[in-house]
Structure 1
């Protein structure tokens, strides 16, 4: 079992590292969405500039006027080389959020030169969800007051943003399964200007709560231990939900969970079945500039030993009490 776990951890790390390193840096224009290799795509639709801004793993930014054709990549994230991140941190799962007149860059930063723990033979580097800020949607995004939002000895990832019914801002993030051996989804309150965190994190649910994710451990089948890619939403009826991603054996897959209280405090009840076909995941929701709800995800497949991740869009319906995922949406110029 230990060999299987180490192999799974190595494959996951290789996928993320590959996605980090193979994002093309050469500036291009008029690029179709499905010609961009990008993990964890997040799209901000900005009415002030009539522009879509897409970011994700790799720390780069793409721009589009119509979702069909894109230009980029632009480098927009500026970190402090004297901080714990070091001079060249890996950047995973970046998101853009507009809040109170500013734009915020939520991302996972990793410094592989700092080791914070060793669990079951796995050496865990310094990795944490963090927030940068800008006055403009296309950056540059720079550090704020707090150098640390979450505990230094805790590997966290995929931080996202939500303002709850108490009108307070929160970061929702994953505590990585490689340390706790059963990944969690957690929340922590943020300062009003998002420049730091307040208090301690609180667990919302565990990976093992999922009825749809699966992994094989020896001869037994269990819920997968990975929590990944949270994104919060409300349906038109006011129901609070969260899409998140795990694995069904070798397939990266997305599910959904709903809060019975309508707040982050839950309790959170998992849907029994995933909401995307196999090998689509790490989703987020956005409204197009003309008001249509879409879900951005990436496909995930192995082509001759090379992991390929490409952004895709799905139509979604939030008019009822649940999120309903429709057909793949093909933007037209």
Structure 2
């Protein structure tokens, strides 16, 4: 390995919604991340791109290269360049590499929220989001959107953070977040995909759970046991959800099969104003559930996690830190990737040893 090809360490660069594809054929880890305007030149889409960092060992990383950007958009595409692509992830499937990525649009008419307290439904939403699928013949791209005229997710849904999951019969599904901005109580949804073309839906969406079902909400007193279930007119809702109350967030689902066939799913929300890494289980093994919420995994303002198998067989979890934390002067802290070993058990995910040797973070409670 020529270290000049891999001059970076993980803590040298920002990461937000990281995704790792362990390419066993090439013996290289492909780390995908949204640019978020870190690299503002033409080779990186002027900041609106998906970046790829490559590593032979998860310690040394290449400089980033853009594998997808929003340059030279035609008038016929649904999305625009009003924001950077969000939450890219890449999966190998049927000999191709499929990128699920959230794109934005201000080309669509403004809409009102479809759920939530009456005061919330009076708002106007001008920013639209949907999950698109791009494809390439190798993990380094370039990736091209299969159908730029419409998102794969339903047009009437404000959708983000799509991930690939497989049902108990092997059929592909997209699990994604329906954003709290539209729902007030955000949801996790699932959409069946065409077996031969992951950029094509094979049916309608199914709701899996709502953000307020997270087990911590009852203890914190901001939702009843089992969540709001769209009941925003009762006495409890009127008392707890006065005008200006924050919505309930669903972010970053990621599914993994347990040894006994149950389907596990990571997801992220907020607890006491900070990011929290949560999990759920479908003991039937089916994408459509029923789903049961499990105790949260991490409460340290880190989340949007995914799991991959390292080349030595170790199961690893990577997520980003510092979603909302600030330094003493009020400046937001940089978000970085943080890696743990993780056990995938029949009853859920169990976070293991923190890998400071890989992510360079000395104290997971205080990433500076």
Which TM class, normalised by the smaller chain length? 0.7 to 0.9
Kept in 1: contact 2:174–2:191 (CA 8 A)? yes
**Alpha-carbon deviation of 1:198?**
1.7
**Alpha-carbon deviation of 1:68?**
0.7
Aligned-partner SS, 2:85: strand
Give the alignment's Cα RMSD to 1 decimal.
2.6
For the pair shown, which has the larger CA radius of gyration, 1 or 2?
2
Which residue does the alignment assign to 2:53?
62
Structure 1 residue 312 corresponds to structure 2 residue 306: no
After superposition, the Cα gap between the structure-2 partners of 1:203 and 1:158, relative to the gap in structure 1 and judged at 3 Å, is same
Alignment of 1:1-333 (within 5 A): 29-58=6-35, 59-78=50-69, 81-82=73-74, 83-86=77-80, 89-119=83-113, 120=120, 121-145=123-147, 147-148=149-150, 149-192=152-195, 193-213=197-217, 220=240, 225-271=248-294, 273-300=295-322, 301-303=325-327, 304-331=330-357
After superposition, the Cα gap between the structure-2 partners of 1:73 and 1:122, relative to the gap in structure 1 and judged at 3 Å, is farther
Q: Deviations over 1:120-146 (max 9, x none)?
A: 324241210111001001111111147
Structure with more of its chain in strand, by fraction:
1
Kept in 2: contact 1:45–1:51 (CA 8 A)? yes
Write the distance in 1 (CA, Å) between the matches of 2:249 and 2:81: 29
**Alpha-carbon deviation of 1:331?**
3.8
Aligned-partner SS, 2:64: strand
**Alpha-carbon deviation of 1:186?**
0.5
Q: Could you state the TM-score of these two structures normalised by the residue count of structure 2?
A: 0.77
Write the distance in 2 (CA, Å) between the matches of 1:223 and 1:210: 15
Aligned-partner SS, 2:132: strand
The gaps in structure 1 that reach 5 residues or longer are 1-27
Q: Deviations over 1:98-127 (max 9, x none)?
A: 111111111111124544413432424121
Q: Could you state the TM-score of these two structures normalised by the residue count of structure 1?
A: 0.84
Aligned-partner SS, 2:297: coil
Kept in 1: contact 2:303–2:321 (CA 8 A)? yes
Say which is worse superposed, 234-243 or 81-90, in terms of deviation.
81-90
After superposition, the Cα gap between the structure-2 partners of 1:165 and 1:81, relative to the gap in structure 1 and judged at 3 Å, is same
Q: Deviations over 1:11-40 (max 9, x none)?
A: xxxxxxxxxxxxxxxxx9421112220101
Q: Deviations over 1:36-94 (max 9, x none)?
A: 20101110100111111111233211111110111121110155712111356521111
Write the distance in 2 (CA, Å) between the matches of 1:81 and 1:182: 33
Kept in 1: contact 2:30–2:139 (CA 8 A)? yes
**Alpha-carbon deviation of 1:291?**
1.1
The gaps in structure 2 that reach 5 residues or longer are 36-49, 114-119, 223-236, 360-368
Kept in 2: contact 1:85–1:109 (CA 8 A)? yes
